[in-house]
Structure 1
Amino acid sequence: MPGIDECLLEAMSLPGARGAWLVDWTSGLALGTAGDSPVGDHETTAAEAAELARAAAEYDSFAQAPGPPAAPGTAEALPKGPPVEDLIVTARGGYHVLRFVETSFDSSVFLHLWLDRDTGNLALARIRLRDLAERLVLG
């Protein structure tokens, strides 16, 4: 069971990995970083990614459970765990994969992997981030 640093190092071993973060999406703080940042600053990247993650996790259009719509804001509308599994942003120079992590507390963290578009493998990254998120030990 890897901790934060081991998890990020393992993410960086993926083909095309340029940067990796563990971010608290409620505060926008990076809990850990590895590699480079697309804007040259890990904290800025974490805060900007948290805005995207927060929007996806909080808007019913993205976070609703499958099936008939439940009443907005009701607890039974969402299954246990993070409301969104992952987000993928395709940019001209790379991919950003945000994988939400289920935790024993409030599940408000996600792994963010920045991949080079030419050398990264998006499918492999999704599979490996899912595995890392399931094995990650926080605390």
Structure 2
Amino acid sequence: MNSLDGCLKRIMDIPGACSVTLVDGASGLAIATAGVHDVVDEHENAAGTTEVVRSALTCPALAAGDDGKPTELVVLRPGAFHLLRLIDGDFDGRLFVHVVFDATTGNLGMARYQLNSAVSELTGAAR
């Protein structure tokens, strides 16, 4: 299992990564951060994205499927994209990673692949 700091560094090394926040989904608090948080600080970011994740997990339309649980959310906006990668477990104790990417230097497909790899190493599980 990799260290948390090593995982955050690996995520920040993904081309286009601007910031990363590891969030405790139960409390909405930032556990660890890296990069530059320009628009809001990491604690406001964590609280806001926790509400987004909770909304997605409780939406019946998004819960349809094999196991009914989204594992990743993608938010696109002009000039940037956000990846919210949920870490395995029940949401009451669930952690998730929120990464902001610059759309001009990042690649959504590669970012998703590399983020999944970094999170899998952190949790010690291959997906």
TM-score, structure 1 as length reference: 0.79
Structure 2: runs of 5 or more not aligned: none
Asked whether 1:12 is paired with 2:12, we answer: yes
* Residue-pair matches, total: 124
Structure 1: runs of 5 or more not aligned: 67-77
| Aligned ranges 1:33-112 → 2 under 5 Å | 33-66=33-66, 78=67, 83-103=69-89, 108-112=94-98
Alpha carbons 2:17, 2:100 under 8 Å: kept: yes
Task: Find the aligned partners of 1:38 and 1:95 in 2 and give their Cα distance.
Answer: 14
Worse-superposed segment, 114-123 or 2-11: 2-11
| Aligned ranges 1:108-127 → 2 under 5 Å | 108-127=94-113
Q: In structure 2, give the amino acid aligned to 1:112.
A: H
Alpha carbons 1:17, 1:113 under 8 Å: kept: yes
The higher-RCO structure (CA 8 Å, 6+ apart) is 2
Task: Find the aligned partners of 1:107 and 1:125 in 2 and give their Cα distance.
Answer: 25
Moved over 2 A (4+): 63-66, 103-107
**1:105–1:42: structure 2 CA closer, same or farther, 3 Å change rule?**
closer
Task: Find the aligned partners of 2:62 and 2:15 in 1 and give their Cα distance.
Answer: 29
Alpha carbons 2:30, 2:43 under 8 Å: kept: yes
TM-score, structure 2 as length reference: 0.86
Larger radius of gyration, structure 1 or 2?
A: 1
- Note the aligned Cα RMSD (angstroms): 2.1
Q: What residue in structure 2 maps to residue 21 of structure 1?
A: 21
Alpha carbons 1:89, 1:95 under 8 Å: kept: yes
**Residue 54 of structure 1: SS of its match in structure 2?**
helix
Deviation at 1:106, TM superposition (A): 5.6
Worse-superposed segment, 38-47 or 92-101: 38-47
